[in-house]
Structure 1
Amino acid sequence: MHLTPRRRRRLVTALTAALTAVMLSAVAGCGSTEPRDPLADAKAGHLTIGVKYDQPGLGLREPDKQMTGFDIEVAEYIAQYLGVPADHITWKEAPSPQRETLIKNGEVDFIVATYSISESRLRAVDFAGPYYIAGQSLLVRADETDITGPESLEKGKKLCSVAGSTSAQNVKEMYPGVQLQQFDSYSSCVEALSRGKVDALTTDDIILAGYAAQYPGEFKLAGEPFTTEKYGVGLAKGQDAARDAINDAIEDMIVTGAWRAALEQTMGRSGFPLPDPPQVNRY
């Protein structure tokens, strides 16, 4: 069949459009994600674990890219219990607003990132634990005398917390008169506090103690804790066997004394009073 130049151009255009549609469809299909199966990944010899990168004493990515902190110790113990050595873990940063998304999209097997168990979060993800119980408190500059608790913030003080965190939500519900500023990370709040842009930072006491220890003489905790925060290991809904195995790992870490040793190693020098281990509730 003889094709004129015009018909040849039309055919090429049609074929190109069809090929482009096929390629776009394929890309869209590759973009679909499913939650991970932690036990299957552990059996294959590798885990991807979501952690914080900016919380000294809990989850911190050091300048040499090594991960340190109590959450890291807990995550490594769980991985080892599931048969995965520490050097077969891929660490992924899990900012507070993104944790549920990371789990649902299959970007992590589970998350160990000062992740407070709450009723609203239990509707989105499952939790093992708790592996630690904290309390929300305040961090202020060392020379601050006016701020003695959350009530004193309602006198025109500026408070910083992180968007998507339980801490920010608690302030909105319990102290609506406070001028709350929500940043994308606690390290950004610490910088704002240091520069006098805000008057206080709120999150859990153990996190604040880590920052106070990182910058000795610059900050202090103010007042008493005003909530109870149960840290859990977040994972996808329906992974019941994995959740049970992680609960077993946490209980084993507590019974063997490894929990206490890890907490003393990571937070002992901060001067923060270290609590007893929690009871694993098996949510």
Structure 2
Amino acid sequence: MADGRMAGKVAIVTGAASGIGRATALLLASEGARVVCVDLERGPADDVVDAIAAAGGTAIAVAADVTVEADMERMAQAALDAYGQIDVLHANAGIPGVGQAHEETPAGWARLIDVNLTGVWLSSRAVLPAMLARGQGALVLTASVGGIKGVRALAGYSAAKAGVLGLMRSMAVDYAAQGIRVNAICPGTAWTPLVEATYELGGGTGVGPDGAKVSMEEARERSTARYPIGRLGTVEEIAQAVLHLAGDGSSWTTGTALVVDGGFSL
């Protein structure tokens, strides 16, 4: 691991306890990064740290809420206290949401924006001073194909993810001259706890022409059929995209939304 692609770097991953975040934390650690695994609860974050340690990597866990400014400041300070620097932030924490615009409630809408957009801003805001002080860093934000094209019954979620892309582009311009790159990934469907929760919220994301909900199994089959590559993605494949944008192999890439969706958005 000492000579991996992320050797010598310190990476923070929010939403690290499951799904894309867990896969990314494991991958970055396997490539030599020291990883700060952030999630709402300490126990699940500790589980990821244990998995990293068992594979020979280095990591710590931090329990924090991305919607709370003080938590994000504490997260950044924990990374600095443990490792002395912050090189990478994968701002990945998010929650699902299902509903057309007329079905969304103000409280549900606010929660989607708070976690999926404001949380990305607060986590980025917390790490930027350390990156600016060193004149280098990479932010990789988790957006979605829902942020770049219309997806049925994801009004609030898609609005938040489109906001992430706007934030990414603005920060990319603001910080490029200071050596900080800001990019985003736009994943399609990989079977993660968040995706499963989305299916459950909607009674299945596959909705017929009459608007009827369908079973979880049928919803998954319908979703798969929409991917030209012929299958859903895996969290490991999406983590590879994060690794690329976080590492030196993308040193001349900033302001990019990397679509990782098996051709869905085509």
Q: Counting strand residues as a fraction of each chain, which structure ranks higher? A: 1
TM bin, normalised by shorter chain, reads: under 0.3
- Normalised by the length of structure 1, the TM-score is 0.24
TM-score of the aligned structures, taking structure 2 as reference length:
0.25
Compare the two structures and name the one with the higher helix fraction. Answer: 2
Q: Which structure has the larger Rg over C-alpha atoms? A: 1
